[in-house]
Structure 1
Amino acid sequence: MGADGGTIATRSDMVRTKDLDERPDYDAGERRHALWTLCRLSKHPLEAPVMADALGQLYNKDSLLEYLLKRGAAGASETEQRVAGHIRGLRDATSITLTKNPAPQRDEDGTQYYPYACPLTGRPMNGKHNFVYLRCGCVFSETGLRNVAAPKKGNDERAECPQCSAPFSAVFEPRDIECDITWINPSPETQSIRRDLLATRKKRKARTDDKARDSRARPARPARPAKATGDDHDHGHEHAPDATSAESVHAAQTQTAENPKEPTVHTG
């Protein structure tokens, strides 16, 4: 059927109107191809600069910026919010470096082409092999990274990125959001756990920020005068005898004047 101007809507145009999870007619192969080759927001092919979030989802940077602008103006759609609602700014995503697939694209055999691959093993980034990215943004297959950066005894699990030499902790734990290694497009179960952990961390940070603001807003208490110490009292007595002592001395002098003692007579 024709649309405005007599154009025909293609399957790629229609799929962009919904998230992948909302298309039950989208078969497993097509969905996998879309996950690893298209931006999760725009559904356009991934092209540099590309970014990845803590859930392992991939975005074109310009599409992510457009979403953030719409979000700020309350114009983001429900589908966009469901996909990227945890992203409040570019600081919540990492710029990644994708390596072109060295294998030539062959359209005649009918297979779907995957344009990116692991720089260590040459394996295509097609969803059949686990892929990860580091904090530095370099992307590898999990197998390739393990082969060159698996933690060894006595080195405190520290390693260097095989592509840019940036240091990282070689802890391979897909469900730990504090790790330096993040899985790209992990299983739905792992992604759900990571989403919950991100929400928990966000709430914890909000509580910490609230306490810090309250502390800054609370007026400072006035300083209390220092209490006198025992030494202070002792010095006071030395320089200013109390009234009781002065009265006692005066009374003794008066009594002596009224009743003088008789002189003692010594006889030979």
Structure 2
Amino acid sequence: MGNDGGSIPTRRELVKNAARNPTHSQVRSTQAQTREYRWSTCPLSKKPLSAPIVSDSAGILYNKDSIIEWLLHGVGAFGDGEEVLDGRVKSLKDVVEVRFEQLEEDTKADGESARRSKWVCSVSRKELGPGGKAVYVVPCGHAFDQSAVREIGGKEGGCLVCSTPYEDTDIIPINPDEPAEIERLKERVRTLAEKGLTHALKKLSDKKAKKRKADDASTKSSKKAKEKESSIRNPAAAALTNKVMEDEKLKSEQRKLLMSDNIQTLFSKKEDEHKPGKNRDFMSRGYSLPAHMQR
């Protein structure tokens, strides 16, 4: 207990401090980084956004070529595509091409002049990006600053650029983060599905509409079943646990398929366990008691 060159740890060193909630500035910094990423990067391909750009019913921006590649190759193209899209994109009718007005301007950095391009509102000339709120109109896809659409309107005369008619529900916020906006977009999708319409207001055939309803119903039932089976309240932990269990189940089935006949004999089948004369213990299988001990 001393003079051995060691030290005695204190309680402060042995007990971990409780995790502290992030400060307001940390939360704002994280949100700002998330908005910047969503306005500059395609979540499917993880590449910079470049025209042509499309948006799904949730107002999220993608590169159009990434959506086409997903529709052609599925998870073979993007392993996390199902998680990113969450079933919102099943055909090109489920996306709308967003038409941004691009403005070139001269900038100076480190004493050198350069050209910078940015997206601007066609009406207010405000820059569209993570620093403000922007919307686009379905079905034409023209993008505006949200305040310009609210103040000037345009519903009666249609789109402020091309005069295409639209409804109030067809004003889609770009990269929304408010729960009320997200819920409104989900309700819009449900309403359109009942009418057999997609996010782009394109008509689905009766056969495809029925198939989508069946797929949505099966997806909801499977999600409910998984939530009921899992007793873990944390969604991330529950998803990770389910994935690990599925992987272990798959590995177990593969091991059984690779077993030789000699190894398989060591394991008794369930239907053989209740048969008389069957020895359940493989360590003593083949061993018989002497005659004078059998009574």
TM-score between both structures, scaled by the size of structure 2: 0.48
Deviation at 1:105, TM superposition (A): 4.4
In 1, the alpha carbon distance for the partners of 2:141 and 2:183 equals 22
Percent of aligned positions that are identical: 26
Kindly provide the amino acid, as one letter, of the partner of residue 125 in structure 1: L
SS at match of 1:144: helix
**Runs of 5+ unmatched residues, structure 2:** 1-26, 197-206, 212-295
Query: Per-residue deviation at 1:89?
Result: 0.6
State the alpha-carbon separation in 2 of the partners of residues 160 and 55 from structure 1: 22
Amino acid at match of 2:100: L
Question: Does the 8 Å CA contact 1:114/1:124 hold for their aligned counterparts?
Answer: no
Deviation string, structure 1 residues 115-154 (Cα, Å, up to 9, x no partner): 212121221112222111011111000112223226xxxx
The 1:199–1:70 alpha-carbon spacing in structure 2 relative to 1, beyond 3 Å, is farther
Helix, strand or coil: the match of 1:45?
coil
Change (3 A) 1:106 1:140: farther
What TM-score comes out, normalization by structure 1 length? 0.53
CA distance in 2, matches of 1:77, 1:191: 28
Residue equivalent to 1:96: 98
**Is the aligned partner of 1:141 residue 2:131?**
no
Deviations 1:164-185 (A, max 9, x none): 121223x2xxxxxxx1211101
Structure whose alpha-carbon radius of gyration is higher: 1
Separation of aligned partners in 1, 2:190 and 2:158: 30
Structure 1 stretches of 4+ with a deviation exceeding 4 A read 105-109, 198-208
Query: d(CA) in 1 for partners of 2:97 and 2:133?
Result: 19
- Looking at structure 2, the residues matched to 198 and 36 of structure 1 have their Cα atoms a distance apart, in angstroms, of 23
Q: Output the aligned Cα RMSD.
A: 3.5
| Gap change, CA 1:77 and 1:130, over 3 Å in 2 | same
State the one-letter code of the partner of 1:50: I
* Structure-1 residue corresponding to 2:71: 68
Question: Is 1:80 the equivalent of 2:81?
Answer: yes
Report how far residue 76 of structure 1 moved. Answer: 5.5
Count of residue pairs brought into register by the alignment: 169
| Match runs of 1:7-86 below 5 Å | 27-71=30-74, 74-75=75-76, 77=78, 79-85=80-86, 86=88
- The alpha-carbon deviation at position 192 of structure 1 amounts to 4.5
Partner of residue 187 from structure 1, selected from 171, 177, 187: 177
Equivalent positions of 1:198-217 (< 5 A) are: 200=190, 204=194, 209=210
Q: Distance in 2 between matches of 1:44 and 1:207?
A: 32
